[in-house]
Amino acid sequence: MMLAKKLMAEGHTVIAFDVEADCRREMATAGIVTTSSVQAVLLHLPKEKTVHVVMAEGSAREAVLKLLASELGPGARILTEK
């Protein structure tokens, strides 16, 4: 959540998803737009898409990155952080 707050303070629009409902509620309380799924995040993105993924390494992270790569299309940027 700290990264989302930092990005918002810098003037970026943040659309967030977390598998933990409590984390989503906490982000929403802080004014961060949250969604119920990764797919829902994609619906909120502008034409020029940049997605910042912050997840631990593992199969869940790889699945999210694969989904994003297939759904975002050409010209999109996927930034990753562990």
Q: Which amino acid belongs to residue 11?
A: G
Strand 33-34 versus strand 77-81 pairing type: unpaired
Tens of pLDDT, residue by residue over 7-59, are 999 998 899 999 899 999 999 999 999 999 999 998 888 888 899 999 999 99
Report yes or no: 27 and 16 within 8 Å, Cβ to Cβ: yes
pLDDT of residue 46: 82
> Which DSSP symbol is given to 49?
-
Rounded Cα gap, residues 27 and 40, in angstroms = 16
CA distance 25 to 34: 8
Lookup result for tokens 């299309």: 73
What domain range is 9 assigned to?
2-81
At residue 2 the predicted structure's pLDDT band, cuts being 50, 70 and 90, is confident
Number of domains the chain contains: 1
> Which spans in 10-58 are helix H?
21-29, 38-44
